[in-house]
Amino acid sequence: MKTMKKVFMGAAALMMAVSMAGCGNSGSGNGSATTPDAGGSTGSEAAGAVKIGLHYELTGEVADYGKAELNGSLLAIKQANAAAGSEKYGYVKYDNKSDPTEAVTLAAQLASDGVAGVVGPATSGASAASYQILNDAKIPVLSPSATQNNVTLTDPDKIDSAPYDYVYRVCFEDSYQGAAMAQYAYDTLGKTKAVIYGDSTTDYAKGLTEAFEKQFTKLGGTIVAKENYVSKDTDFSSVLTKIKGLDFDVLYIPGYYNEAGLIIKQARDMGIDQAVVGSDGFDSVTLVELGGAENLNDVYFTTAYTTVGASAQLQAFIDAYKAEYNEEPNMFAALAYDATNVLIQAIEEAGSSEGAAVQAALAKISFNGVTGSFTFDATHTPIKPVLVVNLVDGVQTDAVAVTPKLD
């Protein structure tokens, strides 16, 4: 009797598994276009509509970026529909759980959904995992924030390899940003002796460090010392004590706001009053919370987006975003908004949502967006100046556009 029960339970479990598998086949035939939040792409409405694939990190480690970018993209699509006076643009959205493996599956899914173009993902790893599939399917991809060096190239190890035909991004590379800060520190701030104190565990910080060092020494400055910390460190006093004893005039911290905020606080408490410069990883209110507003003077960072001295166009975006989501847009939302608009503009200019036509339009597009006006260079990366923002008592007060003089 007992074994019968076990057999029955086993069979029940197996049936559950089989029926789940069945669901998979019937369910994904019509994709997630049938979910209620998939906008105007459901059913017959999809007939005339251009479907845009939104592929973001909506859960997992970097869900913050993905969610902000999804909001930015949705706003762009909504405004495009309002301008067209019809539901011209629909979308399908997918969550890759901040996992590159998932991104591969979703790239295949997007290719089979027949989208006109894809916006996302937010991170370089997940983006790189999706490029080859979407490029083979001739679907244009716009990456809002895949900043890793050479990630748009078919062979990222070779700087002279061809870019993927259908892959574009609207952010500048890590190295470009690092070089811009070096240029600004040397030219504008007049600093010549730098200490670099960077995160050794992220590719982002490593790329910035290399680029800053290269540009700064090329201009004639010297790197006095290079120190490393590890993400999630909280006590930096031993290294800062060492740095305090050095003869330098600027401290470069390539990294994110969590550590940078604490480093600045501990450095200022210790009496290190030299200028502190950083990257767009500084761009968060958390930096002010951790660092303390009184310590955030003579602090500069590079970014793609700031609300300081906003143009009318940028202000309109900020107002629309606030009205829609009741919160301030951040850099990721702005980049995704631009990325989506680049795609929409390319579709409009091509007069078709067919991949090759959109790609041709992208190649010669001249775009005027909230993170700057730009065209794409040979590596499908935008040519636009980097903004350097100055913090006074923790408040962004001044933004200067800097273009690094490379080679």
Partner 1 sequence: MKNLLNKKNACWLLLIAGSYGLISLLISAGVVNNVYLTVLMTIGINIILAISLNLIIGVTGQFSLGHAGFMIIGAYCAGVAVKQISASLGGILTGMLIGIAISGLVALVVAIPTLRLRGDYLAIATLGFGEIIRIVILNMKITNGAAGMILPKLVDWRIIFAAVVICTVIIINFCRSAQGRACISVREDEIAAEAMGINTTKYKIMAFVLGAMIASVAGALYAGAFYVIKPEMFTFNKSIDILVLVVFGGMGSFTGSFIAAGVIGVLNTVLQQFSDIRMILYGLMLVGIMIFRPSGLLGTKEFTFSALFNRFSRRKEVRE
Binding region for partner 1 (CB under 8 A): 9-10, 13-14, 17, 20-21, 23-24, 27-28, 32, 34-35, 58-59, 93-95, 97, 99-101, 104-106, 108-109, 111-112, 124-126, 128-129, 131-133, 148, 151, 156-157, 200-203, 206-207
Omega cis (within 30) before 156: no
Mark 337-374 as b/e (b = at least 16 C-beta within 10 Å).
bbbbbbbbbbbbbbeebebebbbbbbeebebebbbbeb
At its nearest, how many Å lie between partner 1 and the CB of residue 316? 30
By beta-carbon proximity to partner 1, the closer residue of 201 and 286 is 201
Q: Is 63 exposed, middle or buried (0-12, 13-18, 19+ CB in 10 A)?
A: middle
Amino acid 257 reads Y
Please state the closest distance from residue 3 (CB atom) to partner 1, in A: 11
Contact 317, 337 (CB under 8 A): yes
Closest CB 104 distance from partner 1, rounded Å: 5
Residues found in the chain: 407
- For residue 271, the minimal CB distance to partner 1 (Å) is 32
Dist CA 219 CA 235 (whole Å): 33
| 3 membership: H or E segment, kind and range | helix 2-27
To the nearest whole angstrom, how small is the minimum distance from the Cβ of residue 395 to partner 1? 32
User: In what helix (H) or strand (E) does residue 27 lie, and over which residues does it extend?
Assistant: helix 2-27
Minimum CB separation from partner 1 for residue 93, in Å?
8
Q: Which is nearer to partner 1, 21 or 378 (CB)?
A: 21
DSSP symbols for 161-179: SPBPTTEEESS--HHHHHH
Report the alpha-carbon distance of residue 361 to residue 313 in Å, rounded. Answer: 23
Q: Closer to partner 1 at the Cβ: 12 or 316?
A: 12
